[in-house]
Chain A
Amino acid sequence: MVVWTDFERTTIKDIFSKIDYAVVGQAAFSRCLIVYPWTQRYFGGFGNLYNAAAITSNARVAAHGKVIMEALEKAVKDMDNIKATYAELSALHSEKLQVDPDNFMLLGHCLTIVVASQLRKAFTAEVHAAFQKFLAVVVSSLRKQYY
């Protein structure tokens, strides 16, 4: 059972209220495909992913980035039930998409870096810690249905 402090709850909701899902989603997801190129293996139908410029301007990448952020918002809206919220998505990622769960935190790292670049000084060590904890809970929930 995840225990959230008041600071953590407020911080997470605050971050998600401040960021533009389309912008941050696109930036984080494209960064993941560029910095960790093996993650491209799951997106063969996305067209041209040959280099950083192509990835950055790819419309399907941008659209999918927004999808990811909207899915994360579900967790933010019900922080005490993230495991239940993601049960279906976990099954999807394990059974249908067959994504190596080690990749989840790679996207998490890129999202942290993009959020950090947006919030800058406001992304203090304490805020960063709360965000990292949130991502860890999300990743753990997504891993739940793998066996």
Chain B
Amino acid sequence: MLKCQDLICEVGRVCAFPVSYIRRPQIELNTTPTATTGKMTSLSAKDKNTVKAFWAKVAGKEEQIGCDAVSRMLTVYPQTKTYFSHWKDLSPGSAPVKKHGATVMAAVTDAVSKIDDLTGALLSLSELHAFTLRVDPANFKVLSHNLLVVLSTMFPQDFTPEVHVAMDKFLAAVALALSEKYR
């Protein structure tokens, strides 16, 4: 059992929770107390600025990133190939993979520019994924992870832990907006 050594903790006695878990300075929290959803995916002003600043650095390389991310997803998580059985060639860097990578990245770039209203920005894409493509939303996390890996290989210095968490939150928010129309 740990004793709370945090002088501003209201509890201040022996308790089962780790010290850092009990109390955090309000400014360190990533979600504001007035966030309407209060979920993990609400983006603070700091998150949005971090995402926009990092995305500016990525400019010009979108197609390469998208192609690599989709290639990786199909190779590392082969179950995702089931959604692309209509393609002639699913190998990394093939023509349909490249084209789709560009499509996905264009949508992500658009989402960055509309970061204050992701639900609105992704409405028609959500309908597409929900009613036509019927992609299991669990796969959104998979593509997001692969995108982060690509960003890590291409921008190792810029993709700091702080940028990583902001991007991860942003992509989770995008995935949530994409899931809106499912049910």
Contact = CB atoms under 8 A, between A and B. Distances in A.
A121 B153 CA distance: 7
Interface of A: 30-31, 34-35, 40-46, 48-52, 55-56, 109, 112-114, 116-121, 123-126, 128-129, 132
A124 B68 CA distance: 9
Q: Which of A52, A112, A113, A121 has the most CB of B within 10 A?
A: A113
B98 interface: no
Contacts of A124: 92
B168 A44 contact: no
Contacts of B150: 116
21 contacts: A41-B21, A42-B18, A45-B18, A50-B20, A50-B25, A52-B161, A56-B161, A112-B145, A113-B149, A114-B152, A116-B149, A120-B153, A120-B154, A123-B149, A125-B72, A125-B74, A125-B75, A125-B76, A125-B92, A126-B75, A128-B75
Contacts of A116: 149-150, 152-153
B153 to A, nearest CB: 5
Nearest to B154: A120
The 3 closest A-B pairs by CB, nearest first: A44-B18, A117-B156, A125-B75
B9 to A, nearest CB: 12
B76 A128 contact: yes
A48 B18 CA distance: 11
B162 to A, nearest CB: 5
B10 interface: no
Contact of A35 (B77, B149, B165): B165
Q: Which of A43, A45, A126, A132 has the most CB of B within 10 A?
A: A132
Given A41-B21, A50-B25, A34 B152 contact: no
Contacts of A30: 161
Contacts of B28: 50-51
Contacts of A123: 149, 153
Interface of B: 2, 17-21, 24-25, 28, 68, 71-72, 74-77, 92, 145, 148-150, 152-154, 156, 159, 161-162, 164-165, 168
A125 B21 contact: no
Nearest to B23: A50
A46 B161 CA distance: 19
A35 B76 contact: no
A138 to B, nearest CB: 16
Given A117-B152, A125-B72, A49 B20 contact: yes
B164 A31 contact: yes
A48 B25 CA distance: 12
